[in-house]
Structure 1
Amino acid sequence: MNFDDLLSHYKAKACVVSVEFFPDGTYGNIRVVAGNKAHCDDMAALNHPFEPGCPYEACFPKNPNFEEHCFRCIRDGKPLHAYVNLYMMGLWLNMFLLPLDSDKENIGYCIYCYDVAPKADSSAMADLSADTAADVLKACIKLRGSGNIKHAFQDVVEDIRKICGSDHCCILLTDDEKCTCSIFAESLREGSGLYPMARYIQGFYAILETWPDTLAGSTCIILKDDRDMENLRERNPVWHASLRYAGVKTVVLFPLRHGGKLLGYMWSLNFNVEDVMKIKETLELTTFFIASEIASYKLLNKLEVMSTIDSLTGIKNRNVMNNWVNQIVEGQVPMPDAVLFADLNGLKRVNDERGHAAGDKMLRKAASILQSVFHDGEVFRAGGDEFMIIVSKIAEDEVRRRVDQVHYLSKITEDVRFSVGVCYGESDIRTAMRLADERMYADKKSYYEAFPGLKYR
C-alpha cells in the first residue's frame, strides 16, 4: 500500500502507525511509518524532522495509553476517537485512529489523525458514543441537580463503579500542604473481598505522592492484566506491593485536575477489562466535570469558612454568633445553660507600646485559652477584644471552675488578662447576653480598681 499517496488526501495532521504483534496476543514495536505534509511540518516546528519508520516516541511523547489505543484499533479493526487533556503540556489532544489492511502477518497499521489546542473544545467533547454520552450526561445532571453535593458524588461514584463493572470506586482528595489525603466518595461492591479505603487511608499519602511519576504525563493509568502489573512492579514497586496486598488485580486511575491544579484522584479497582476502552472514554470526560465540581465545592467551602471564621484568631466570628442567637430566639437551637462574655484587659496598651503584631498575638493566645477551657461550647469573637461563649449541659459550679481556669491560664502568660461576666440558667438569650455583658464590665471595673495604672490602657 502506498501510504504517502493515501495520506496526501488528509488536510489535518495525519500519519500511519505500525504495531508489531506477538503470537501471545501482546504487542512490540510501534512505529510511525509515514506522515503527510501537515505532520512533517509539525515535527519540523518542534525541531524533530520526521523520519519514516522511526519509533513513535520520536514524534510523540511515550504514552502507554496511546500504545493501547493503536493496538486495540488494529486488533479489533474498529475506529477509535479520544479527546484528552495533555496537562503536562497545557494542551488538549483530539485524536482519531482508523484501522488499515496489512499484507504482513505480524504487523498491523492504522491512520492516526490528530490536532492539539490550548483550550478544551466542547464540540469535541460531545463527539462520543451514545452510551458514553448518556453516562456522562447522567453524572452531570446528578452533580448539578442535587442540593447535597456529597450525596450527589456518592451516587455518581456508585454509577461509575457499575459502569466499570468494578469492585471498588473511590475519589481521593489531596492536601499537599499537610501531606494528607481524604476519602471524598466511595462505592464498594458487596462481596467483593476488598476492604473500604478507610482501612488504608492512614499514611496512604506516601503512596499517592508517587502517582505523578508513574503517570509520567499520561492522562490516566490503566493496569488491565499481569503484564501491566509487572510493568508497574518495575516502575513503582511500593504501590504494586500495596495493590497485591489488598487483592487488587486491575486498576484504572485518573488524576482530577482543574485550572492546572491537582485536586485528587479517582480510581476503579478490579474492573471489566473487556470494556476498557469504553471505560477510559467515559472516565476521561466524566473526571473533567467531576474535577470542576470538586473545585467549586472546595471554593464554596473556603468562602464559607472565610465568612464564618475570624481570620485572626481562627474561632467563629460575629456573623456566626448572630446566627446562633437568632436560631436560639426562633427555637431552632436549644437555649444554652451558660452565656459568658470575656474581654481582654490591656490590649490598647500592648498595641500602643509594642505594636499591633504583639496585640494580634495577644488576641490569638486569648482565643486559644478560651477554646481549650470551653472545648465543649461555642466560642465567638464578638468584636475587637471581646469574646462570647455559650455552653450547654453544664452545671453552675463547673462554669465557675472553668472561669477560674481561664484566669489561671491567662496569668501564666505574659500579657493575657480577662474580665469575665457570666449568666447562668436564664431562659431568654438576649437577657442572658445583656446580664453577662454587664457583669463583664463590672469585673473589668474591679480589675482597673486593683490596677489603677492600667486604667483605660
Structure 2
Amino acid sequence: MDFQEFVNNIEPMTCIISVEKFSDNSYGNIRLVAGNKAYIDSIENPENVASAQMLHNKFIPNSPYEKYIPKDLNFETACYQCAIQKKPYHTYIHPDRYSFWIDMYMLPLASDDPNIGYCTYTQEITIEKNDQRMTNLSADISAAVLQTSLKLKGTKDFRNTMDEVISDIREICAADRCCVFLTDFKAKKCSVLTQVVAPGLQIVPMETHMERDYGDFFDVVETWPATIAGSTCLIIKNSSDMDVLKARNPLWHESLMKAEVDSLVLFPLEYNDELLGYIWAVNFDTENAMNIKEVLELTTHLIASEIANYQLVDKLRIMGTVDMLTGVNNRNAMNNRVDWFIRSSDKKPETFGVIFADLNGLKQKNDKEGHGAGDQLLKDAAAILTDVFYDGEIYRAGGDEFMIIDCEASEEDLEQRVEKLRADSEDPANISFALGFYFDSGEGDIRKAMRTADERMYIDKERYYTLFPERRRK
C-alpha cells in the first residue's frame, strides 16, 4: 500500500503509524510512517496551534514518534491495541503538555509483514473542551460513569460515598487495591482520603506504609507530575513499562518493587486547573487497560469535582466555626453548642463543667508592645488552655475571654486543673488568667452553668487585681 497516497485522500489531520511486534507479543519502535498536509502542518507550520508545542518542527517519514512528542506509554498502548491487536480506538483528551484538547481516532490497517502492524491516526484539535464529545461513549463505559455520577450527586456522607465509588472503580479495574490521595503542593502535604482492598487480601494500609517506610511520603508524590510527563495519566502494564518508570523515577520504582506492584494506573484529580490529588489502582487487569483508561478519564472529573465541593464546604465550615487567630472554636461555634444544649432532643452529657478564662494583661501588652505582641499573647493563651483542658471544647468567646465546656472530666479533676492554672497565673513570668468554674452534676442547665462560671470569673479577677494592683487595666 502507498501510505502517502492513502493519507493524501483524507482531509482531517491524519498519519500512518507502524508498530514493531516481537515474538513475545511485546513491541519495539513506533514510527510515524506518512502524514497528510494537515498533519504535517500541525508539526511544521508555526502558525498551527500544535506546532509550537511539538518537540521538533520538521516531519521526517518513518521517524520514531518520540521525535515529536515525549515518550507516552498511553499513546503506545493505543497504537499497539490498534495496529497489532486490530482494535479501533477513540478518545477525547487534554494532555497537560498541550494547551488544547485532542479528539483522536485510530483504525487498524492490513499489513503484509507479520512483524509490523499499521494503523491510521486521525486527530482534531479543539481549544475549548467540548462536553458533547466527552459523552460519546460505549454502553459499558456510560453505565460506569452514570453509576459514579448518581452516587456522588447530593451525597450527605462524603467519605462513605467515596468509599463506595472507589470500590466500584477497583472492581472495574479488577485491581488488588485502589486508593485516593489528597495533595496540597503549597503546604507540601498529602493524605489518604480512602483506600479499598480486594476481598481476602491482607495488605498493609497505605497510611501505615507511608509512616513506616517514608520520612515524608510527599517527597514521592511531588515526583508524580514529572513521571506522568505531560500525559493524562500513567499506566504501567508490564516489565517493559516498569523499565520506563525506573528510568523516569527510580525512587518511586524502588518503593513499588518493595510493595510487589506489577502494574498500576495513576490518574491526577484536577478541578479548575488545580491539582487536588491522585487516584491509583495497583495490580489491575492489564488486558482491559484502554477500557479502564476511558472510564477513569471521565469518572476522575466527577470525583475531582466532588472533592473540590467537599473541600470548599469544609473551608466554609472552618471559617464559620474556628477563630482564625488562635485556632480554637469561635463565638459562633460556642453559640451553636450552647443552643444544642438548650434545644436539641439528642441525649445530653450526664455531667459537664464550664470554665470561663479571661486573659489578664492583654491591653497592657497591646499598649506597650503593639497588637502583634497582643495577638501572640492570645495564641499562647489558647495553646495553654488547649493543653490544660485537653478533653474539653475550647472557645474564644470574644476579645480576651475564653470559655471551656468539658463533658469528660470529673468535678474534682477539673477543679484541680483550674486551681493549678490560677496558681500559675499569679507568677509574673507566666500567662495570667482570671478563672471561673461551675460543674453541672445532673441538672443539664447550660445557661446556669455559664452564668455562674462568668460571675465567679469576675470575682477572681477582682481578687487578682487586689493582690497585684499595679497590673490593673488603665
- Output the amino acid matched with 1:167: D
Residues 335, 56 of structure 1: alpha-carbon distance in 2 compared, 3 angstrom cutoff: same
Residue 193 of structure 1 and its aligned partner are, at CA, apart by 4.8
1:419 maps to which of 431, 434, 442? 434
The match for 1:449 among 444, 462, 466 is 466
Structure 1 residues 185-194 or 287-296, which shifts more? Answer: 185-194
1:274-313 equivalent positions in 2, closer than 5 A = 274-313=287-326
5+ residue gaps, structure 1, are: none
Separation in 2, partners of 1:255, 1:220: 7
What does residue 152 of structure 1 align with?
161
Q: Name the SS for the 1:86 alignment partner.
A: coil
Are 2:125 and 1:110 aligned?
no
2:90 aligns with one of 75, 81, 87 = 81
Shift of the 430–7 alpha-carbon distance from structure 1 to 2, 3 Å rule, reads same
Q: Distance in 1 between matches of 2:110 and 2:427?
A: 86
Q: What are the superposed Cα offsets for residues 399-427 of structure 1, whole Å, 9 maximum, x if unpaired?
A: 23211332355456757321111112362
Residue matched to 1:348? 363
- Which stretches of structure 1, 4 residues or longer, exceed 6 Å deviation after superposition? none
Aligned match of 2:353: 338
Instruction: Choose from 223, 227, 235 the match for 1:214.
Output: 227
Equivalent residue, structure 2, for 1:172? 181
For residue 268 of structure 1, what is the amino acid of its counterpart?
A
2:40 maps to what in 1?
A: 40
- 2:386 is the counterpart of 1:371: yes
User: C-alpha separation between the residues in 1 aligned to 2:101 and 2:423?
Assistant: 62
**8 Å contact 1:182–1:201 — kept in the other structure?**
no
Deviations 1:298-334 (A, max 9, x none): 1211111111110000000111111111111135332
Letter of the 2:234 counterpart = I
Identity %: 46
Q: Is the 8 A contact 1:167 1:192 kept in 2?
A: yes
**Residues 335 and 429, structure 1, Cα contact 8 Å, conserved in 2:** no
1:439 equivalent to 2:456? Answer yes
Across the two proteins, how many residue pairs are aligned to each other?
Answer: 457
Deviation, structure 1 residue 291: 1.4
Contact 1:362 1:415 in 2 (8 A): no
Question: 1:387 offset after TM fit, Å?
Answer: 0.6
C-alpha distance in 2 between matches for 1:430 and 1:256: 47
Of 178-187 and 316-325, the range deviating more from structure 2: 178-187
Q: For residues 203-258 of structure 1, what are the alpha-carbon distances to aligned partners after superposition, in whole Å with 9 as ceiling and x for unaligned? A: 34343333233222222222222322333334433333333332322211212222
More deviation, 305-314/102-111: 102-111
Which of residues 119, 138, 143 is equivalent to 1:134?
A: 143
> Which position in structure 1 is the counterpart of 2:63?
54
1:222-237 alignment to 2 at 5 Å? 222-237=235-250
Local SS of the residue matching 1:102:
coil
Cα–Cα, structure 1 residues 90 and 232, in superposed 2: closer, same or farther, change >3 Å?
A: same
Scaled by the length of structure 2, the TM-score of the pair is: 0.90
Q: Comparing 8-17 with 432-441, which one deviates more in the overlay?
A: 8-17
Q: Which residue pairs with 1:2 in the alignment?
A: 2
Q: Check 1:414–1:260 CA distance in 2 against 1; reply closer, same or farther (3 A cut).
A: farther
**Deviation of 1:70 (Å):** 0.8
Shift of 1:338: 1.3
Partner of 1:384: 399
8 Å contact kept, 2:73–2:241 = no
Question: Against the structure 1 CA distance between its residues 205 and 408, is the aligned structure 2 distance closer, same or farther, given a 3 Å change threshold?
Answer: farther
User: Aligned ranges for residues 248-267 of structure 1 at < 5 Å?
Assistant: 248-267=261-280
Gapped runs of 5+ residues in structure 2? none
Equivalent in the alignment of 1:406 = 421
Task: Note if 1:241 corresponds to 2:254.
Answer: yes
- Residue 105 of structure 2: SS of its match in structure 1? strand
Report the TM-score when normalising by structure 1.
0.93
Match of 1:64 in 2: 73
| In structure 2, distance between residues paired with 1:57 and 1:408 | 74
Cα contact 1:328–1:334 (8 A) shared by 2: no
Deviations 1:65-112 (A, max 9, x none): 111111111112221012223124343322111112223332222111
Within 2, Cα distance between the matches of 1:151 and 1:97?
39
Deviation at 1:179, TM superposition (A): 4.2
Whole-angstrom CA distance in 1 between matches of 2:180 and 2:14: 37
Partner-residue secondary structure (3-state), 2:94: strand
Partners of 2:273 and 2:426 in 1: CA distance: 49
Conserved in 2, the CA contact under 8 Å of 1:92 and 1:116? Answer: yes
Paired residues of 1:194 and 1:247 also in contact (CA < 8 A): no
More displaced, 277-286 or 234-243? Answer: 234-243
Q: Does 1:123 align with 2:140?
A: no
- Tell me the secondary structure at the aligned position of residue 174 of structure 1: strand
Deviation at 1:131, TM superposition (A): 0.4
1:403 & 1:260 partners in 2: Cα distance?
51
CA distance in 2, matches of 1:351, 1:53: 76
**Contact 2:33-2:62 within 8 A present in 1 as well:** yes
Higher mean C-alpha deviation, range 302-311 or range 183-192: 183-192
> Taking structure 1 as reference, are residues 243 and 193 closer, same or farther at Cα in structure 2, changes over 3 Å only?
farther
Q: Alpha-carbon deviation of 1:18?
A: 1.7
Instruction: Please state if 1:328 is matched with 2:341.
Output: yes
Q: Please say if residues 366 and 416 of structure 1, whose CA atoms lie closer than 8 Å, have aligned partners that are also in contact.
A: yes
Quote the RMSD (CA, aligned, Å).
Answer: 2.2
Cα distance, 1:335 vs structure 2: 5.7
For the residues of structure 1 that align with 2:301 and 2:279, how far apart are their CA atoms?
11
